[in-house]
């Protein structure tokens, strides 16, 4: 799959209008998923026609163009990335950038359902760390949140990942009245298995058929509650994403908070996102986007593509404007998280 065109002729770093270097690319390889989580999708989703998706070869070339411009961390997302047919071909091809030293990390975010099948192969291709989305350890509640997920399969996937030597971070969306009473047990379970846990505020992306205000649990409240139970020590630890971390003295583990509403993380944003159709979003919370599929397909050389990337990065905004309250219950943007990539 490796491109024969000269990918690394262009070494100009990607700097946005606010002097932030773009070093982290998140790529949605599919909008499809084998779950229908209540905060991410509606139950009856209309997915993109497969013909609209970039091929695996095109995704490789697009990712490689960003690596050539200074991206050091590449995360594959979805939907559920591991349901994309042939996905390991893409992972294996992109791993050449790890071997060359041009990429520091190749990783992915997954719901865990396909990890029993793919964990070992991911490790063999140089993936060292993955994020697994898991909001509860109660099987009935898990099925209710995911609408048809099987908790046992996800736990088996986590087992497989750890057996393959992958570091696992658990991502849990804090949902009011759903899993807020379970957060301490999630912390102790994750830390007991040597995994980090990151809590995430629900984001107003796409119509999911439920009111966002009914789901929204501010993590400022969660942290205050946890502080009554645990000793939380702020630490400088970073993984390249937006989370702020504490160490939980009682467990010895690391706990992250991603707070797009109560305390946005835009001032240090180093990320852009590409959809499976080749649309570049410079900000998760804004509608402005750039078409990269057209210049990608217009020439085998990357001149047009690089020019389109430059023009898009020049429009990267300072930040997003997420609000969830009684006056703002509609999605901030119309697209679902599964389209943009988590």
Mean pLDDT of 321-334: 46
d(CA 43, CA 52): 22
The predicted pLDDT at position 1 comes to 64
Q: Quick one: what percent of the chain has pLDDT higher than 90?
A: 68
The predicted pLDDT at position 269 comes to 84
What does pLDDT average to over the chain? 87
The predicted pLDDT at position 264 comes to 54
Residues forming a β-bridge with 28: 77
DSSP 48-111: PPGGGSPPHHHHHHHHHHHHTTT--EEEEESS-GGGSTTHHHHHHHHTHHHHHTS-SEEEEEE-
Q: Quick one: what percent of the chain has pLDDT higher than 70?
A: 83
Question: Do 270 and 70 touch, CB atoms closer than 8 A?
Answer: no
Mean pLDDT of 139-162: 95
d(CA 212, CA 202): 8
SS3 2: coil
The predicted pLDDT at position 99 comes to 98
What single-letter DSSP state applies at residue 47? Answer: P
Mean pLDDT of 185-213: 79
Helix (H) or strand (E) holding 263: none
Is the model's pLDDT at 331 over the cut of 80? no
The predicted pLDDT at position 180 comes to 93
Is the model's pLDDT at 45 over the cut of 50? yes
The predicted pLDDT at position 219 comes to 92
Pair of tokens at residue 2:
């490796």
Please choose, from the candidates 276, 288, 342, the residue with its C-alpha nearest in 3D space to the C-alpha of residue 316.
Answer: 288
49 or 292, which is more confident?
A: 292
Is the model's pLDDT at 209 over the cut of 90? no
Query: Of the ranges 145-159, 259-273, 316-330, which is most confident?
Result: 145-159
The predicted pLDDT at position 51 comes to 84
d(CA 170, CA 191): 10
Question: Do 173 and 205 touch, CB atoms closer than 8 A?
Answer: no
What does the pLDDT look like over 269-324, one tens digit per residue?
888 999 999 999 998 767 789 999 999 999 999 999 999 999 999 999 877 554 44
The predicted pLDDT at position 5 comes to 45
Question: Which CATH superfamily includes the segment(s) 24-340?
Answer: Aldolase class I (3.20.20.70)
The predicted pLDDT at position 308 comes to 97
What does the pLDDT look like over 90-113, one tens digit per residue?
999 999 999 999 999 999 999 999
For 188, list phi and psi in degrees, rounded to 5: -70, -35
Residues 6 or more apart in contact with residue 120 via CB below 8 angstroms? 160, 164
d(CA 97, CA 125): 11
Say if residue 276 is exposed, middle or buried (CB neighbours under 10 Å; 0-12, 13-18, 19+).
buried
Question: Do 200 and 327 touch, CB atoms closer than 8 A?
Answer: no
Calculate the alpha carbon distances from 338 to 59, 115, 225 in Å: 17, 19, 31
Q: Which parts of 101-187 are beta strand (E)?
A: 105-110, 129-133, 167-174
Is the model's pLDDT at 6 over the cut of 90? no
Please choose, from the candidates 240, 194, 217, the residue with its C-alpha nearest in 3D space to the C-alpha of residue 71.
Answer: 240
Residues counted in the chain = 342
Is the model's pLDDT at 198 over the cut of 50? yes
């Amino acid at each position: 799959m490796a491109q024969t065109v000269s990918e690394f002729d262009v070494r100009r770093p990607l700097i946005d209008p606010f002097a932030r270097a773009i070093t982290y690319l998140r790529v949605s390889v599919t909008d499809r998923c084998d779950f229908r989580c209540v905060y991410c999708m509606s139950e009856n989703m209309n997915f993109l026609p497969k013909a609209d998706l970039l091929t695996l070869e095109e995704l490789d070339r697009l990712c490689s163009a960003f690596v050539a411009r200074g991206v050091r961390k590449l995360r594959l997302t979805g939907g559920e990335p591991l349901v994309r047919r042939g996905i390991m071909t893409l992972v294996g091809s992109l791993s050449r950038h790890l071997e060359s030293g041009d990429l520091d990390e190749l990783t992915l975010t997954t719901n865990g359902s396909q990890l029993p099948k793919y964990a070992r192969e991911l490790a063999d291709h140089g993936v060292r760390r993955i994020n697994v989305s898991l909001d509860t350890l109660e099987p009935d509640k898990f099925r209710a949140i995911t609408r048809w997920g099987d908790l046992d399969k996800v736990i088996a996937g986590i087992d497989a990942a750890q057996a393959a030597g992958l570091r696992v971070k658990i991502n849990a969306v804090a949902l009011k009245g759903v899993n807020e009473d379970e957060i301490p047990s999630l912390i102790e379970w994750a830390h007991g298995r040597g995994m980090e846990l990151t809590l995430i505020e629900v984001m107003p992306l796409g119509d999911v058929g439920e009111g966002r205000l009914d789901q929204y649990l501010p993590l400022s409240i969660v942290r205050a509650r946890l502080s009554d139970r645990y000793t939380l020590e702020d630490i400088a630890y970073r993984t390249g994403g937006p989370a702020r971390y504490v160490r939980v003295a009682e467990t010895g583990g690391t706990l992250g908070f991603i707070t797009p509403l109560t305390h946005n993380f835009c001032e240090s944003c180093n990320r852009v996102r590409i959809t499976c159709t080749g649309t570049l979003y410079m900000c998760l919370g804004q509608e402005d986007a750039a078409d990269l599929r057209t210049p990608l397909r217009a020439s085998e050389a990357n001149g047009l593509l690089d020019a389109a990337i430059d023009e898009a990065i020049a429009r990267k905004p300072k930040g997003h404007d997420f609000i969830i309250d009684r006056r703002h219950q509609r999605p901030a943007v119309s697209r679902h998280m599964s389209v943009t990539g988590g």
